[in-house]
Amino acid sequence: MVNNVNFKKGTTQIHYPKGTVFEFFVLCHGMLQLAQLLVSGYLKSSISTIERRYGFSSQKSGILASFNEVGNTLLIVFVSFFGSRVHRPRFIGGGALVASLAALTMAMPHFISGPYEYTDHISRKSHTQINTQICKNSSYLLLQMNSTLLPTSTWQGVFPLLLLGQLLLGIGSVPIQPFGISYIDDYASKRNSPLYLGILLAVTSIGPAFGFMMGSFMLRFYVDIDKKSKVEITLERQDPRWVGAWWLGFVVAASFLFLTSLPYLFFPRQMPKEKAGDLIGRQMRTLPSNIFFPLPGFPRIALRTLRNPIYLLVVLAQVNLAALVAGLATFMSKFIERQFTQTASFSNIMIGGVSIPMAVLGIVLGGALMRRLNIPTRGSALICVTAILICLFTAMPLLLLGCSTQRVAGIYPTQPKTLACSSECSCPSEAFNPVCGSDGVEFVSPCQAGCKNKILDDNNSKVLNYTDCGCIDVNGSYGYALPGTCGSSCKHFLLPFMVFSALTCFIASLSQTPSYMMILRTVKPEDKSFAVGVQYMLFRVLAFLPTPVLYGTAIDTTCILWGKKCERNTSCYYYNMDLFRQRFLGLQLFFICGAFVCFLLSFLVLRHREGQQVQQAGQGYVMVDGEKSPDNTSCK
Ligand SMILES: *[C@@H]1O[C@H](CO)[C@@H](O)[C@H](O)[C@H]1NC(C)=O
């Protein structure tokens, strides 16, 4: 694992100014990891926007979100195989360049597809607007509709392109962390190594928050900000059809990745070792990313590790928590958007500014606690069990903090059907331009509401008011309708929701370090890097890969009105909010329960073992703390 041999062989006594090149390497590596996490965090922050822009189902966006793990999982084995025999800085730089290219690929669909089109957008250049504005009982509208909906075939290539971007991103990030960490660990002084690795770990855990914050910033701009002038942008940010400039963040991140990759092309293959006192041992060598498999003796080590029940149980518990995090990270912003009628931009602030910092705080505090108190393995298990149990109780109220879908005429609470009052209006079925009637009922479009007139603003670019609406009956006369959704009237639940979910994040994260300590202490020192490698492989295969797809599929089952474009389903217009909440949070509770059971079992096994040890050590010794389990006598 350690590359001292190579170092001795290849040294050509170059004398760098004391430590500076190496410190520069650590700095660069911090920046690079930040850039890398920026991309993945940003993708998750913009996924609901991409979904809407290109008409994906949530299942599709789940596949997209987890697709980088495919490239990553396939190639990580090679990294373990090459170990440190390669020119590590160049591999890292190359990986970063690939990742930068990947981010550009992700932004590409924006440049090759035409401008974003939605129902009733007011286009000055062409006649391609789909006009559902008002109720006209004539058939020319339908003819016009059919001819204008045809040239929208570009969007079919978008999904493969995004997948390719994600695949490249996964491939590019393969060498970055493992090679970086092993390089630092090889050439840092024993004294500084934990410090450097600690800094990198901190960067790694806070990185995604920057991604979400960047998402929040970018999604405030309109998607076609580069193609349209300001007066042409007539959508409001609160409009359910609003699409932010999702691609902008990928361009920024690609540039950042490109810049951080450059120094790596100049770092030497080997470095003189930093000189400093050997006060602290290299405790950090078994960091998560250090997954170099020791090839000789592999089967024996594998068998020995996998037969360790504590190891398996703790890893399974962590897999449950990782599944929870993967699903949350991908769809939490969509959940907040829909459930509390917030913009994508605002939802991302909640995640990047509240949820992630609370989780990081939990991890740090859990670590500090473990360091201070020198807690034994059984104590660690107890901490984990307690933390996850409390989590169950803080996550439960979340199920109650929400509202049903607002009343939408002909869609909710009734089954989707055409409205009799506007059946004469020849409203196109694909139209989505929600309006809120003066009686408080929402309509999918002003046409569906039977509105016959509209009042425009001074520029003639925005509709302010739809009037004479045949479907809206206010005291026997026709009512009016205002553009935009009525909203879920649930905004007041946002604050308690965020409080409870932040609390859940915080408490769950407390278990992170204790559970790692359990793994490191129950596995033989020489098996540690294998154990950590397997652990991360299981995270990928059992949690990061499948759960976003699982969550997406679950969310799709709660859709009550799918968007349609050229007879195909696009993204969901209306969800049954109660089902959405129950299934989304229900999955979370399921994973929390899974983690709880695994931690509890590991605690029981540990207690059982210690009971045995006590029995073996002191013959005839009677345990006084009343923890003797009845089956102590039956097993040896
Ligand atoms: C919309 O028009 C109706 C009927 O003309 C009017 O009563 C209502 O006040 C208008 N609402 C707004 C917000 O302009």
Domain assignment present for 136: no
E strand spans, 385-433: none
Report the CATH number at residue 515: 1.20.1250.20
Nearest to 504 by CA among 370, 348, 323, 324: 324
Domain assignment present for 5: no
Is the separation of the CB atoms in 502 and 358 below 8 Å?
yes
Q: Residue 316's domain spans which residues?
A: 16-114+152-286+298-404+490-612
Domain assignment present for 411: no
- What b/e sequence results for 546-578 when a residue is b if at least 16 CB atoms lie within 10 Å of its CB, and e otherwise? bbbbbbbbbbbebbbbbbbeeeeebbbbbbbbe
Least confident among 262-266, 355-359, 620-624: 620-624
Residues whose CB falls within 8 Å of the CB of residue 623, separated by 6 or more in sequence, listed in order? 611, 614
Longest dimension (CA), the chain: 97
Number of separate helices (H) and strands (E) present in the chain: 20, 7
Nearest to 484 by CA among 439, 428, 430, 445: 445
Please tell me the residue having the least CA distance from ligand 1 atom 3.
480
Nearest to 404 by CA among 394, 412, 414: 412
Please tell me the residue having the least CA distance from ligand 1 atom 1.
465
How much is the pLDDT for 234?
81
Cα separation, 307 vs 538, in Å, equals: 15
How much is the pLDDT for 559?
94
Domain assignment present for 228: yes
Q: In degrees, to the nearest 5, what angle opens at C-alpha 451 toward C-alphas 448 and 454?
A: 130
Please tell me the residue having the least CA distance from ligand 1 atom 6.
480
pLDDT for 123-151, tens place per residue? 444 444 445 467 776 544 444 444 344 34
Report whether pLDDT(338) > 60. Answer: yes
Is the separation of the CB atoms in 430 and 477 below 8 Å?
no
The mean pLDDT value of the chain amounts to 83
CA–centroid distance, 465 to ligand 1, in Å, is: 6
Nearest to 126 by CA among 107, 111, 99, 144: 144
pLDDT band at 202 (very low <50, low <70, confident <90, very high): confident
Report whether pLDDT(523) > 70. Answer: yes
Question: How many domains, in total, are found in the chain?
Answer: 1
Please report the atom of ligand 1 found closest to the CA of residue 464. 14
Please tell me the residue having the least CA distance from ligand 1 atom 7.
480
Nearest to 393 by CA among 167, 593, 141, 174: 593
User: Taking CB atoms and a 6 Å cutoff, what residues make up the pocket around ligand 1?
Assistant: 464-465, 467, 480, 482
Q: In terms of DSSP bridges, do strands 435-437 and 477-483 run parallel, antiparallel, or are they unpaired?
A: antiparallel
Please report the atom of ligand 1 found closest to the CA of residue 482. 13
Domain assignment present for 97: yes
Extract long-range pairs of 113-117: CB within 8 Å, 24+ residues apart: 113/54, 113/154, 113/155, 113/158, 114/151, 114/152, 114/154, 115/224, 115/227, 115/228, 116/53, 116/223, 116/224, 116/243, 117/152
Cα separation, 55 vs 69, in Å, equals: 23
Cα separation, 193 vs 630, in Å, equals: 47
Substitution candidate for ligand 1 out of 458, 465, 486 with most atoms within 8 A of CB = 465
pLDDT band at 165 (very low <50, low <70, confident <90, very high): very high
CA–centroid distance, 139 to ligand 1, in Å, is: 29
Residue that the structure tokens 């699982």 belong to: 550
CA–centroid distance, 479 to ligand 1, in Å, is: 9
Domain assignment present for 303: yes
Burial class of residue 152 (count of CB atoms within 10 Å of its CB; 0-12, 13-18, 19+): middle
CA–centroid distance, 124 to ligand 1, in Å, is: 27
Domain assignment present for 312: yes
Domain assignment present for 500: yes
pLDDT band at 10 (very low <50, low <70, confident <90, very high): very low
Type of residue numbered 286: T
pLDDT band at 611 (very low <50, low <70, confident <90, very high): confident
Report whether pLDDT(167) > 50. Answer: yes
Please tell me the residue having the least CA distance from ligand 1 atom 12.
465
CA–centroid distance, 435 to ligand 1, in Å, is: 13
Mean pLDDT computed over 335-346: 94
Highest mean pLDDT: which range of 367-376, 392-401, 420-429: 392-401
